[in-house]
Amino acid sequence: MKNRLTYSLAAVLAAASALLAPATAQQLRRSVASFYDLRTSTLLGQPAALAEYRGTVSLVVNVASQCGFTPQYEGLEKLQDEMKGRPFNVLGFPSNDFGGQEPGTAEEIATFCRLTYGVSFPMFEKVVTTSGPDQSPIYAFLGTSGHLPAWNFSKYVVDKQGRIVAFFPSEVTPEDPALRDAIAKALAAN
């Protein structure tokens, strides 16, 4: 009886841990068909459904306030402004994954972005972009593209249906013709 009880308890615990374990990229790919199916929170903690951006092209960027690439905020804001009136948005996801370069609170990040770069594009809660148990579902989904950020300011172009159509590493600036071309192609597609 004790062996059966121990076995039953072990089976229940194994099933429970499987339910509570973070989704792998492969599991996520099967369960989430579109970037726009995901939910998150705004930088200031309000619930946010990315479904709000369905039908638009999104440039998703992991941002940080104390990075050598931080001046790219200026180009990202300029891109957002240039695209005003078109189905396009820059979406910023602060991350402290690389060099501890985003240590601030949500309020500190928001203030820095607003006062230093005039950021008006949507900013979301601080996330973990790297693989592991704490990885954000946003970046678990983006990682299904075969690319995860190697540093701050990596960029994903997501099409109107929520599919990842291009990835650009940190060194590629918002002004780069290849990035602009990927956005233009995604905007032109049905």
Catalytic residues: 67
- Residue 103 · residue 66 · CB < 8 Å: yes
Cα 71 to its chain centre, rounded Å, is 19
- Residue 38 · residue 32 · CB < 8 Å: yes
* Residues whose CB falls within 8 Å of the CB of residue 23, separated by 6 or more in sequence, listed in order: 31, 137, 140
* Residues whose CB falls within 8 Å of the CB of residue 184, separated by 6 or more in sequence, listed in order: none
| CA–CA distance, 88 with 20 (Å, rounded to integer) | 35
Core vs surface per residue 17-47: b (16+ CB within 10 A) or e? eeeeeeeebeebeeebebbbebebeebeeee
Tokens representing 68 are: 């050598």
